[in-house]
């Protein structure tokens, strides 16, 4: 039985993975968690474990008017703390270190009407301090890898599921309240938390290192996700192209407005072949089922 240490207490991803293992793969791993918010984590004996799953970090940044102090804090937590944790794991003889990076390292979504497809050869190009903090950690941690210390970096797209934070809850609120929603033909890679949890299970079982791009089997259009959320909530919503001119106008407004439009209606996907790791066996939830589970009361 492998022993897994999750570094980052009360994280959505860490708790979801632990719950998944308890319900789907009981007795496969022994899992412990350590809080990284204070210096006491340094007293933890990492040598007891085979794997470290590092999920501690700050996400969902407002990248508008942010102080330099706040930007430095993101770098300190997302980069410096992650790197220090990886070094501690390596020194303790850990065999596999799993780091949660993000699709954000590739920058923003494409503007409306255009597509942005990330291939394996695509080079990271963060567009803000949050993305850069993840990219710097991603890059530096991989430099620690050797034959005895396998580093697995995950660069997932938007993660959603019951209790998730970030963009999905905002979209869900709109789906449940608005009478109409724009029918913009975009495409996004997304990842349900159960698919992520199964991916991590398979990854730990394999002991592999490398860069990984887990995503759902299907791309999703924003209006398709909104329509399905509304259906699960018993709310009628009219999906129409008549609102599209308003979306195009809003995209031209500088600052937060255009930023929100890009997030909601821009296109950003991983080429599907990049995500065929483990022959796709981790993609256990299809889109409709995943939203139904997310919205289940």
Contacts of 151 (CB under 8 A, 6+ apart): 86, 96, 97, 99, 141, 142, 144, 145, 209
Nearest in space to 159 (alpha carbons), one of 7, 16, 8, 5: 16
pLDDT at site 240: 97
User: For residue 73, what are the CA distances in angstroms to 36, 54, 104, 133, 135?
Assistant: 14, 18, 18, 10, 15
**For residues 97 and 84, is the Cβ–Cβ distance under 8 A?**
no
- Residue 46 DSSP SS3: helix
Calpha distance 261→257 (Å, rounded):
6
Distance CA 151, CA 154 (A): 10
Residues 6+ apart with CB under 8 A from 125: 105, 106, 107
Residue-by-residue pLDDT tens, the chain, 297 positions: 999 999 999 999 999 999 999 999 999 999 999 999 889 999 999 999 999 999 999 876 666 667 888 889 899 999 999 999 999 999 999 999 999 999 999 999 988 889 999 999 999 999 899 999 999 999 999 999 999 999 999 999 999 999 998 889 999 999 999 999 999 999 999 999 999 999 999 999 999 999 999 999 999 999 999 999 999 999 999 999 999 999 999 888 887 777 788 888 999 999 999 999 999 999 999 999 999 999 988
Distance (Å, whole) CA 242 – CA 221: 17
Q: Is 270 helix (H, G, I), strand (E, B) or coil?
A: strand
Using CA atoms, how far residue 165 sits from 16, 58, 176, in Å, is 13, 12, 17
Least Cα distance to 168 among 261, 291, 42, 268 occurs for: 291
User: What is the pLDDT at residue 197?
Assistant: 98
For residues 111-141, one letter each, b for 16 or more C-beta atoms within 10 angstroms of the residue's C-beta and e for the rest, the string is ebeeebebeeeeebebebbbbbbbbbbbeeb
Question: Which superfamily does CATH assign the domain made up of 2-164+191-217+269-284 to?
Answer: NAD(P)-binding Rossmann-like Domain (3.40.50.720)
Per-residue pLDDT at 62: 65
> What pLDDT, on a 0 to 100 scale, did the predictor assign at position 293?
96
What pLDDT, on a 0 to 100 scale, did the predictor assign at position 103?
96
Which among 41, 263, 65, 247 has a CA at the least distance from the CA of 158? 263
What pLDDT score does 61 carry? 62
Strands of the chain (E only): list them: 2-7, 29-34, 51-54, 96-100, 117-118, 150-154, 158-160, 180-182, 190-192, 210-212, 238-240, 269-270
Rounded to two decimals, what is the model's pTM? Answer: 0.95
**CA 9-192-138 angle, 5° bins:** 60
CA-to-CA dists, residue 40 to 37, 44, 74, 176, angstroms:
8, 7, 20, 43
């Amino acid at each position: 039985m492998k022993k897994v240490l999750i570094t980052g207490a009360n994280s959505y991803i860490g708790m979801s993975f632990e719950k998944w293992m308890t319900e789907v793969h009981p007795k496969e791993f022994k899992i412990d968690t350590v809080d990284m918010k204070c210096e006491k984590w340094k007293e933890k004996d990492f040598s007891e474990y085979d794997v470290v799953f590092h999920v501690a970090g700050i996400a969902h940044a407002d990248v508008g008017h942010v102080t330099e102090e706040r930007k430095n804090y993101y770098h300190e937590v997302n980069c410096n703390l992650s790197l220090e944790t990886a070094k501690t794991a390596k020194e303790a003889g850990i065999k596999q270190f799993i780091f949660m990076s993000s699709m954000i390292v590739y920058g923003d979504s494409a503007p409306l009407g255009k597509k942005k497809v990330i291939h394996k050869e695509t080079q990271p190009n963060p567009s803000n301090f949050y993305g850069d903090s993840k990219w710097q950690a991603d890059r530096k941690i991989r430099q620690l890898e050797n034959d005895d210390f396998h580093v697995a970096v995950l660069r997932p797209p938007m993660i959603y599921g019951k209790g998730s934070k970030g963009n999905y809850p905002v979209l869900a609120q709109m789906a449940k309240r608005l009478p109409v929603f724009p029918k913009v033909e975009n495409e996004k890679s997304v990842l349900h938390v159960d698919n992520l949890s199964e991916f991590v299970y398979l990854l730990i079982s394999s002991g592999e290192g490398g860069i990984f791009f887990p995503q759902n089997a299907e791309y999703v259009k924003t209006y398709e996700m909104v329509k399905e959320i509304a259906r699960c909530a018993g709310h009628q919503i009219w999906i129409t192209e008549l609102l599209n001119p308003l979306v195009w106008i809003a995209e031209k407004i500088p600052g937060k407005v255009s930023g929100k439009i890009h997030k909601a209606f821009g296109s950003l996907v991983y080429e599907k072949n990049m995500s065929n790791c483990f022959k796709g066996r981790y993609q256990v939830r299809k889109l409709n089922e995943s939203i139904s589970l997310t919205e289940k009361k």
